Amino acid sequence: MTTKDSDRIKRAIEVATKAHEGQLRKTGEPYIIHPLAVKKILEEWGMDEDTIIAGILHDTVEDTDLTLDDIKKEFGESVAFLVDGVTKLSTARNGMRDIDTYLPATKDNFLRLMIALGDDIRVLIIKLADRLHNLRTLSALPPDKQKKIAKETLEVFAPLADRLNMGLLRVEMADLSFKYVNPKRFDELEKLIKKHNKSAEKSLARTEEEIKKALRKEKIKYKLSGRVKSVYSLHKKLAKHHQNMGEIYDLMALRIIVEDVTTCYLVLGIIHSLYTPMAGRIKDYIAKPKLNGYQSLHTTVITKDKHIVEFQIRTREMHEYAERGLAASFYYNEQKLTENYKKGKIEHLPTNLLWINELQMTAARLREGKKVDLKKLKLNLFADKIFVYTPKGDIIDLPAGALPLDFAYKLHSEIGDHVVGVKINGKMSNLNKKLEHGDVVEILTSKNQTPKQSWFGKIITPHARQRLRRALRLSDKQDIISNKSKRKSHKT
């Protein structure tokens, strides 16, 4: 408890401390350490008071005698709603206790649930703070649980943080988790980064001096800092480039933060006048922000001593948003956003976060049997994933590029095995048609249909491939049996 805590916050700490009395964490510490750590994280993110209070109380309804009604009476509807959301999220996956039964089969359910809880995005933010602290203290758990939680974080929470443009959180979550998922690789890559940075140290310092001099000459106010690539993002990038280090150009980056957008472009020009830019490596995310709202100018140049350095140029506000994302928006718009943030009042969310409400509203309207213009949706929860709908409005997530048979096998192998056709958005289509975000996909089946060898060319997911292989093996056996009986019948 600090002196700057409001009376409501102090009271919440009292209530939570009393409720968790006698409970211990796996680390052996009193349980209250955890909600207090979550409180601190939420404060660092600049969240509003209701969210902080809900963070303090987030485990009480699930794990103690405190009820939602108690919370509502003492702290109001908004706090109760948030605590309820976090509780639902964790009871649906049975908390950390039964995580064994949770991964990976029900990952989709979890995603669906998250989307359903998008009613108030602050629920997700509390959940992210909760997960971050659990990750930071993961060493107290047995190794198999460590791996499972770490894996889940890499698959669900880190991409979610990325989608909310919470860059600092994404990096911390990903690197903490990756260390548990693949410790050997983590060490290897960490050493590689260190070694590389060491060898480029002098050159980088020289480049920094050159840049500073040029910026001073132009009387530009700036802040310059180095950014080290995270281990996990290097791992992912290497996988994409067939482990070829020579193709990683952003191992070292210098970040220049300036006052306004015009100056960003001015600085880009200055950099290009000093160094040779690499072709095709200039990215204007200011004019064309990334899907999560990230804005910055990127350019990769070859320095005078032939080192490759990436520059990232952005305004202070863009920088804040890149690091803290959604949380930064709450901070900037605190009053406006928290007072108006009620169900349905989505116009107060920053425009780059409307995807959450959009996704949710679409599902709701489909469930009610209403027509929606899906072509207008630009949903992209995870960069490499698409979300499509069943005619009933269930959301199915698939990798980008998935085809109707992938969808069918994802629903059920009984459905997959008997596909005769597909309707996409109400129109007859074909099995070679790539599914897109927001498509409503209806699979047509027939009892007489049998799986075909040629279908291997019409699927991309390992799951569907495996199902199809199994189905073909089974029907082969049946063929052999029926051939044998035919031969027999010929003889006799």
The residues that are catalytic are 62-63
In the structure encoding, which two tokens stand for residue 354, read together? 């409307």
DSSP letter for 64, please.
Answer: S
49-to-78, 171, 243, 276 alpha-carbon distances in Å: 10, 26, 46, 49
Residue 222 sits at φ, ψ, to 5 deg, of: -150, 165
For Mn ion, the closer CB: 63 or 397 = 63
Which residue reads 């290497």 in tokens? 238
Alpha-carbon gap, residue 56 to 19, rounded angstroms: 11
For Mn ion, the closer CB: 63 or 208 = 63
The contact mask relative to Mn ion for 130-169 (x = CB under 5 A, - = no) is x---------------------------------------
The contact mask relative to Mn ion for 92-131 (x = CB under 5 A, - = no) is --------------------------------------x-
Minimum distance of Mn ion from residue 330's CB (angstroms): 20
What is the secondary structure of 262-325 as a DSSP string?
Answer: HHHHHHHHHHHHHSEEPTT--EETTTS--TT----EEEEEE-TTS-EEEEEEEEHHHHHHHHHH
* Binding segment toward Mn ion, per CB under 5 A, in 58-66, 247-255, 290-298, 392-400: 58-66
Sign, CA torsion 163/167/170/171: positive
Minimum distance of Mn ion from residue 143's CB (angstroms): 21
For Mn ion, the closer CB: 49 or 59 = 59
Minimum distance of Mn ion from residue 58's CB (angstroms): 6
Minimum distance of Mn ion from residue 114's CB (angstroms): 16
Alpha-carbon gap, residue 396 to 330, rounded angstroms: 30
Q: State which amino acid sits at residue 57.
A: L
DSSP letter for 230, please.
Answer: P
Q: Are 173 and 159 in contact (CB under 8 A)?
A: no
50 binds Mn ion (CB under 5 A): no
Q: Which of 43, 48, 59, 439 binds Mn ion (CB under 5 A)?
A: 59
In the structure encoding, which two tokens stand for residue 249, read together? 């150009």
Q: How many residues bind Mn ion (CB under 5 A)?
A: 2
The contact mask relative to Mn ion for 430-459 (x = CB under 5 A, - = no) is ------------------------------
* Nearest residue relative to Mn ion (C-beta): 130
For Mn ion, the closer CB: 48 or 59 = 59
Minimum distance of Mn ion from residue 303's CB (angstroms): 47
Beta pairing partners, 166: none
Q: Are 467 and 409 in contact (CB under 8 A)?
A: yes
* Binding segment toward Mn ion, per CB under 5 A, in 53-61, 173-181, 187-195, 450-458: 53-61
Minimum distance of Mn ion from residue 139's CB (angstroms): 17
Which residues here bind Mn ion, judged by CB under 5 A? 59, 130
